Amino acid sequence: DAKTTQPNSMESNEEEPVHLPCNHSTISGTDYIHWYRQLPSQGPEYVIHGLTSNVNNRMASLAIAEDRKSSTLILHRATLRDAAVYYCILRDIRNQKVTFGIGTKLQVIP
Amino acid sequence: DAGVIQSPRHEVTEMGQEVTLRCKPISGHDYLFWYRQTMMRGLELLIYFNNNVPIDDSGMPEDRFSAKMPNASFSTLKIQPSEPRDSAVYFCASRPGTSVLLSYNEQFFGPGTRLTVL
């Protein structure tokens, strides 16, 4: 399985943009990049996904490197409610399995 | 929409006892997943079903663990006998079936069951 590498933790000031990096150097052509987040004492929730092009939705933006070996989740304006563990995941389109790593714990400072 | 429902939310039991965790997926979802989360190992996929049929149980740790899905609206994860190392939060998730338009894998997670085995 292709694996991802993320920093264990990051900090951000409230109302500032946050860039959460993810490396996936062994990504294959059939792997989609997904991001989930897990708020304290809750189950994970879907944030965004992409294949090759950058993606935007109401929660965040996903910037994917041209060689697809890395990606960045962008929260445009961090709020205290964005404090969570963020998981970068690769999913082969031919498979339903996803492998969650340890993720990045984001702390938002008021 | 009530979302994925899990019960119980908390379970405390003694080593050697049988534990049954329950999950009701979102109506209409074809896939159901069971995960286990611990501090040491993070979030691990145990097993998943498609249309009530187990597809991949390679994540099930050992024979003490079993999962069933007798119908589209109910699944159980059973541990017999339970051991202290089984203490974790167990999540159930569901998602719609695959289609040409659904290139992503948005899984909807339940609130989890916190299991403590003494």
Contact B111 A93 (CB under 8 A): no
Contact A43 B91 (CB under 8 A): yes
pLDDT tens digits along A25-82? 999 988 899 999 999 989 999 999 999 999 999 889 999 999 999 999 999 999 999 9
> Does A99 lie at the interface with B, CB-CB under 8 angstroms?
yes
What kind and span of H or E run contains B1? Answer: none
Q: Among B98, B104, B113, B114, which would you mutate to test the A interface (most chain A Cβ atoms within 10 Å of its Cβ)?
A: B104
Q: Tokens for A79, please give them.
A: 């709020």
Q: How far is B104 from chain A (nearest CA, A)?
A: 7
* Residue A99 main-chain phi, psi, to 5 deg: -115, 115
pLDDT tens, chain B, 118 aa long: 689 999 999 999 999 999 999 999 999 899 999 999 998 888 999 999 999 999 999 999 889 999 999 999 999 999 999 999 999 999 999 998 765 455 556 889 999 999 999 9
Residues 6+ apart with CB under 8 A from B92: B4, B6, B21, B23, B25, B32, B33, B34, B35, B75, B77, B109, B110
B-chain CB neighbours of A88 within 8 Å are none
Coil, helix or strand at residue B4:
coil
B-chain CB neighbours of A46 within 8 Å are 104, 106-108
- Whether the bond between B8 and the residue before it is cis, its omega within 30 degrees of 0, is yes
**What distance in Å separates the CA atoms of residue A98 and residue B63, rounded to the nearest whole number?**
23
A-chain CB neighbours of B56 within 8 Å are 96-97
> Does B103 lie at the interface with A, CB-CB under 8 angstroms?
yes
**What distance in Å separates the CA atoms of residue B96 and residue B29, rounded to the nearest whole number?**
4
